[in-house]
A and B are shown apart, each in its own frame.
Chain A
Amino acid sequence: MGQYVVRRLLQMIPVFIGATLLIFLMVNVMGDPVAGLCGDRQCDPATAARLRKEFGLDKPVGQQYLTYLANVFTGDFGTAFNGRPVTELMSSAFPVTVRLTVVAVLFEIVIGITLGVVTGLRRGRPVDTTVLLITLVVISVPTFVTGLLLQLLLGVEWGWIKPSVSTDATFDELIVPGLVLASVSLAYVTRLTRTSIAENRRSDYVRTAIAKGLPRRRVVTRHLLRNSLIPVVTFIGTDIGALMGGAIVTERIFNIHGVGYQLYQGILRQNTQTVVGFVTVLVLVFLVANLLVDLLYAVLDPRIRYA
């Protein structure tokens, strides 16, 4: 197990470097990093040249990347568009997005799994058909449409929530945005759980559990659910990284000042340091979440052996 973790950590290094390099190149090659530094005005050539030298932008891109990476390892993510360190921006943005993601994951777990179990145990019944149809629709409607519609209905028409979230972004303000962020994954979790439950329900060990005279509730929770949830847990785990990276749309709709919002600002103002810094952290979150899922797998399924 220990060896496996070490090997996986080593494997993460090239992926981490590749992904950050890719985004670094995308940002540098496609945009002009200096353009963003003079505010909204066009930089005059002399200032631009000075800035280039100051930020090391006259060096080859490869060298710039190495310098950047070295700085990152000392905790220096550079300067954001507002002139403050990127780390400061991160410390205000990440807690908000983490809260949003937590709400979304809770929705996936509570609603997604519940619906999946209900429909999996009632395949072909009206409950099943209805829920299945709803999941298809939810998957088909893009998140930004779901978000705008919920904002219109709950925020504007019925006044149940405030249409935009305050800068504090407390958990109760994030309930509806979290649901929006979770919506598509929620539908996938429902379908995945349903398939898994329906499959395992016919398995021999469930028949054994019934033959042992266990109450139905115990058959479902202890024998059926435990086995059926293994793929679902995997999905939800890998989804965490995607949710945080995808929060950009939800945060824009509800005006949440999280990672997506700051990234969007960084891109609009072509601030290389902000964009690359945030993406670097997001990539790390994605990789670590995947590693944790793999390890969790071994805990859930004793048949998995890490050699």
Chain B
Amino acid sequence: MPEPNEPEGVVAGTGAGGGMGLAASEAVTLERPSGGAERTAPQGKPRSLWSDAWRDLRGDPVFVISGLVILFLVVISLWPSVIASGNPLKCDLAKAQEGSQPGHPFGYDGQGCDVYTRTVYGARNSVAVGVCATLGVAVLGSVLGGLAGFFGGIWDSVLSRTTDIFFAIPVVLGGLVLLSVVTGSTIWPVIGFMVLLGWPQISRIARGSVITARQNDYVQAARALGASNSRLLLRHIAPNAVAPVIVVATIALGTYIALEATLSYLGVGLKPPTVSWGIDISAASPYIRNAPHALLWPSGALALTVLAFIMLGDAVRDALDPKLR
């Protein structure tokens, strides 16, 4: 059908024949704007999944941009005073709800605190909660899921039923129930809760990939040669089963940050005087009409952070498993 290409941006449903068909079209998509050219690596050089993935990632603008955003977040989490000289807890009620002014680009919130300083300082707790919860979930989930997948049998059944139970409980609800009685203002109860309710997600992934890896010929061969269980697991299975866990954990990191903010918004997450985007958004919502800036800036920072982690996870997944694209 030698018809001309339809013009860009035509609404779907018109045009007959056009794009339907069979041959693999190498459409450039948002997820992978970089070409496939870098796959044609120098011949003879040994290439592993990881070095392949790393080469792909370096050329992937999505990875580079989200990586830079995350790097920036980590830096300001560690040293917020680098870009914000003020004190996030020093507030002046007289200036409540005032808009942008010199030295205070984001204006003041309902309590007269400087929104810019609080937004910068809010990164620390969000990132800390996200990273710690992800680490906890990844370790607990991988160990439980990996062992269940490796040994199978009764442990596997018990674990599968247990994860079913956890999946049946709505997350935000569980957070409300568990955290409503916590009075301290540290970040640890929130992290503990996320690990408690988050591990089943990772354990399912880890279990599945361990079962897949276990069936590989080289694992069977190592077993036949008398390798011990621990050697099989650590040396042969874990390196091949860890990729999906890393991908899901990276994306989960973003969702944990969002969850922390949601719980803080509901009043059961982090609590003042801890500085948190969720708390600030919640506090700003009653004044949404008069001082929308107090809500928009922390919201924007939160969304950008979550977006960066999700996109990073997307990019890592594409690099580690080109088939999934």
Nearest B residue to A142, CB-CB: B258
The reply to whether B303 and A133 contact each other, CB–CB distance below 8 Å, is no
B82 within 8 A of A: no
Report B7 CB to chain A, min CB distance, Å: 10
Residue interface bits A12-27, CB-to-B below 8 A is 1, else 0? 0011101100110011
Stretch with Cβ within 8 A of A (4 or more), from B23-31, B103-111, B113-121: B23-31
Residue interface bits A120-139, CB-to-B below 8 A is 1, else 0? 01111111110011001101
Query: In whole angstroms, how far apart are the Cα atoms of A261 and B19 in the complex?
Result: 49
A242 within 8 A of B: yes
Query: In whole angstroms, how far apart are the Cα atoms of A126 and B304 in the complex?
Result: 23
A185 within 8 A of B: no
Candidates B8, B262, B303; contact of A140 at CB < 8 Å: B303
The reply to whether A252 and B266 contact each other, CB–CB distance below 8 Å, is yes
A216 and B30 in contact, given A136-B311, A140-B306, A249-B266 (Cβ under 8 angstroms):
no
B288 within 8 A of A: yes
Report B207 CB to chain A, min CB distance, Å: 17
B288 partner residues in chain A, CB cutoff 8 A: 148, 151-152, 156
Interface residues on A, range: 35 or more
Report A187 CB to chain B, min CB distance, Å: 11
B146 within 8 A of A: no
A263 within 8 A of B: yes
Interface residues on B, range: 35 or more
A70 partner residues in chain B, CB cutoff 8 A: none
A128 partner residues in chain B, CB cutoff 8 A: 29-30
Query: In whole angstroms, how far apart are the Cα atoms of A48 and B285 in the complex?
Result: 38
Closest 3 CB pairs of A and B: A245-B170, A124-B27, A140-B307
What is B's interface to A at a CB cutoff of 8 Å? 8-9, 11-13, 15-17, 19-25, 27-31, 161-162, 164-166, 168-174, 176-178, 180-181, 254, 258, 261-262, 265-266, 281, 285, 288-289, 292, 295, 299, 302-304, 306-307, 310-311
What is A's interface to B at a CB cutoff of 8 Å? 14-16, 18-19, 22-23, 26-27, 30-31, 117-118, 121-129, 132-133, 136-137, 139-145, 148-149, 151-152, 156, 201-202, 204, 206-207, 210, 215-217, 219, 241-242, 244-246, 248-249, 252, 263-264, 267-268, 270, 275, 279, 282-283, 286-287
30 contacts between A and B (CB under 8 A): A16-B168, A18-B165, A19-B169, A30-B177, A31-B180, A31-B181, A118-B13, A136-B311, A137-B303, A139-B310, A140-B303, A141-B299, A142-B303, A144-B265, A149-B299, A151-B288, A152-B292, A156-B289, A201-B19, A207-B21, A241-B168, A242-B170, A246-B172, A248-B172, A248-B266, A249-B172, A249-B266, A268-B180, A275-B177, A279-B170
